[in-house]
Amino acid sequence: MPAIDELITHFIQSPHDPVLQETIAVLVAESPEKARYVEEKLEAWLTVAQLPVTPATTVKTSSTPSLLQSAKIWIAAAVLVVLVAGWFYFHQSSSRSLHTIVNNTGRIDSLRLPDGSCVILNKNAAISFDSSRRQSFYAEVSKGEVFFDMGRNTVCTILVPGGFQLKTKAAAFHVHASANGSKVFVTRGKLGIAGKERDTMMLSAYMQGTLEHRKTPARKKLVSQSPLAWRTGERVFRNVPAAEILDAVCSIYGIQITVPPSAESRCEKKLTINLHKKTEKETISLLQQSLSAHLVKDSTDVYYLTVK
């Protein structure tokens, strides 16, 4: 389980990190098999980390524990924290009282939490959330574009389409949810992602994770903050991969652009393009010229990129 191993490695390096603790806890709570796997990995590290004993050498003892011994104490304590947190997570999830918001205002709307954290919803976005617990925020994003800017003392759990859970603290990130799955883009801090199978991973600033149904999650580092174009109003792109610009255009105009395998190479091309004050029709025309391809409108708000 390479992805889970990577998460455990991060956890071993920073066992006191509450975000990593909760991400591991979610993983442990998913199934007895994963709980056993995590426990075995942590126990194996503790065993391997035993200091070698050399009887022939006399050393002066100190009341201050070594760095390795301190780390072992942290790990041992963290194992217990994780197992307890796994039980506590399911106990809490069964008693949540969710409040649902669908942004039908025709404009960008926002929600301010008691701790100062902020949730910003694009037009037609929908979420259900529970902010009743102190220093804890839980939400389910069902559709649309939502930006989360969480305070440093708030642990955040977000459920997105595809059965994936996002866990973070003091991070800022964007979620795009659709029937096909989700895309997650981090602008500040770190974010853990836990799925149903072997698809656990971490995202840091400027990294985007693609979470689709029945597909292995993928991640990449973006050149721009194109996923936030709907919120920032950014319309000028310089030497930015076409794939990022297409994502920005989709979020700005509320459309979908489908890219078949035969046209994926065009999306790797880096473009410099100014879409400031351009209508949807003008934007599509400029993209066709820049990509030397066609954007055919299959149905309402759905375009198909073709090189024919």
Looking at the DSSP bridge assignments, the partners of residue 202 are 192
CATH, range 99-221: 2.60.120.1440
Beta strands in 228-288 (DSSP E): 236-241, 256-258, 270-274
Residue 31: predicted pLDDT: 67
What CA–CA distance (Å, rounded) separates 221 from 186?
Answer: 10
Residue 189: predicted pLDDT: 94
Give the list of residues 6+ apart from residue 228 with CB closer than 8 angstroms, or none: 147, 174, 185, 187, 234, 251
Residue 57: predicted pLDDT: 40
206-200-115-88 Cα dihedral, nearest 10 degrees: -170
* pLDDT, tens digit only, all 308 positions of the chain: 667 777 777 777 777 676 777 677 777 766 667 777 777 777 676 665 554 444 434 444 444 455 555 555 555 555 545 544 444 444 444 467 899 999 999 999 999 988 889 999 999 999 999 988 777 899 999 999 999 999 887 889 999 998 899 999 889 999 999 988 999 999 999 999 988 655 678 999 999 999 988 788 899 999 999 999 999 999 999 999 999 999 999 999 989 999 999 999 999 999 999 999 999 999 999 999 999 999 999 878 899 999 86
Residue 307: predicted pLDDT: 87
Helix (H) or strand (E) holding 118: strand 118-121
Token pair of 95 as six digits = 């008693």
Nearest to 178 by CA among 234, 107, 122: 122
Measured between alpha carbons, how far apart are the two ends of the chain, in Å? Answer: 41
Residues 208-233: pLDDT tens digits?
Answer: 999 988 788 899 999 999 999 999 99
Count other C-beta atoms under 10 Å from residue 43's C-beta. Answer: 13
* 226-306 under CATH 1.10.1200.10, yes or no: no
Residues 245-275: pLDDT tens digits?
Answer: 999 999 999 899 999 999 999 999 999 999 9
Residue 64: predicted pLDDT: 47
Are 81 and 24 spatial neighbours (Cβ–Cβ below 8 Å)? no
Count other C-beta atoms under 10 Å from residue 94's C-beta. Answer: 7
Residue 69: predicted pLDDT: 55
Residue 97: predicted pLDDT: 82
Residue 2: predicted pLDDT: 65
Residue 301: predicted pLDDT: 87
* pTM: predicted TM-score of the whole model, two decimal places: 0.70
